[in-house]
Structure 1
């Protein structure tokens, strides 16, 4: 049985949003599952008002479906959606990376090296758990951070969350996972060299390899 998650009253709304978002992306709830609000209140030890606020925000964000007078449901998965998400990730993240390489300064370079180092340490010390996922997300955010468009970064973050609903299903694929880990460090090298063309080509391949992982896991659950 899932243990209750304690939340402070002063930050309840934001906290429950963050925790639910993590759990929805991480697969704690099944695709198509209807969420019972009373059950969520007990599991997360949170009041009705902040819970409903968080659920409404998650529905607007696309991680939940709000049904008229019937509560909330986890979106179903589909091959068509996965293909669309991967295609958009390739286009938008590649664009953001090119812009980041053009505009990134010395502070960005230092932040990128630090993010890559933390992720590499996680590769060694962690078994691809929640902490690794957090550092992985942080690395990709840092890589495109100076792209100069808040909206572009928002769209990319939303696409990452939707993509990860597929990628994080089921058994792991160690061979491809190792290739992806190596590409993280290659992306850093190309970014520091300011080779935007090669970096974007590598990012395209990186997303395609991740797509292969996501597709294989989706097919196992379809």
Structure 2
């Protein structure tokens, strides 16, 4: 007699959505920081155990990550980490320059005193963040928050959304690339320079500096390809 297969217990819609959102956030973070190798096929059973989640919310999270561009879906079933491509990285970097410089101009025009204080606070947290290996994730979050704060007043939800997605795609390359202390020191200094230009509302100088900032990061990220 054939033993019946176990039936997955249905969760209340709110519970399932919460679980899917949690595993989406965790898996997204792990994909960006290179926990999975480029080109690696993800095993559903291993992911269920690793993230302590049921099949339905896991599949929802995987589908969302595929739509976001951090996973590739094959034959409507399997999921694979996208390969690394110098051409794709160039496309991402060039789009970052265009969209972030546009957002920066709008942020400088719309930003108020409250934004200035938030930007100074974000810079302070970034300066105090420890970049030692065991604390690197905290620095990465402070770095992300600085760039979010810099562009926040631009007034376009969709523009910020596209920029966030490009940042995540770009950071997958950058975090897999070998470190470059000389470029890293210059990038760190540019954060303070961007803040000073923001306080003085020197839009054109800030655009040039932000473009250089992205291109220097691109030089580092190329090492992953």
TM-score (norm 1): 0.90
2:97 paired residue number: 90
Q: Partners of 1:193 and 1:181 in 2: how far apart? A: 20
2:224 paired residue number: 218
Q: Partners of 1:9 and 1:150 in 2: how far apart? A: 27
1:137 paired residue number: 144
Q: Secondary structure at the match of 1:31?
A: coil
1:42 paired residue number: 49
Do structure 1's residue 29 and structure 2's residue 36 form an aligned pair? yes
The count of residues paired between Structure 1 and Structure 2 equals 211
Do structure 1's residue 177 and structure 2's residue 167 form an aligned pair? no
Do structure 1's residue 100 and structure 2's residue 100 form an aligned pair? no
Q: Partners of 1:124 and 1:101 in 2: how far apart? A: 29
Q: Indicate conservation of the 8 Å contact 1:122/1:132, yes or no.
A: yes
1:14 paired residue number: 21
Q: Indicate conservation of the 8 Å contact 1:126/1:132, yes or no.
A: no
TM-score (norm 2): 0.89
Q: Indicate conservation of the 8 Å contact 2:187/2:216, yes or no.
A: yes
2:4 paired residue number: none
Do structure 1's residue 68 and structure 2's residue 75 form an aligned pair? yes
Indicate the RMSD between aligned Cα atoms, in angstroms: 1.7
Do structure 1's residue 186 and structure 2's residue 186 form an aligned pair? no
Q: Indicate conservation of the 8 Å contact 1:116/1:185, yes or no.
A: yes
5+ residue gaps in structure 1? Answer: 1-7
Cα 1:124–1:37 change in 2 (3 A) is: closer
Do structure 1's residue 121 and structure 2's residue 131 form an aligned pair? no
Cα 1:209–1:153 change in 2 (3 A) is: same
5+ residue gaps in structure 2? Answer: 1-14
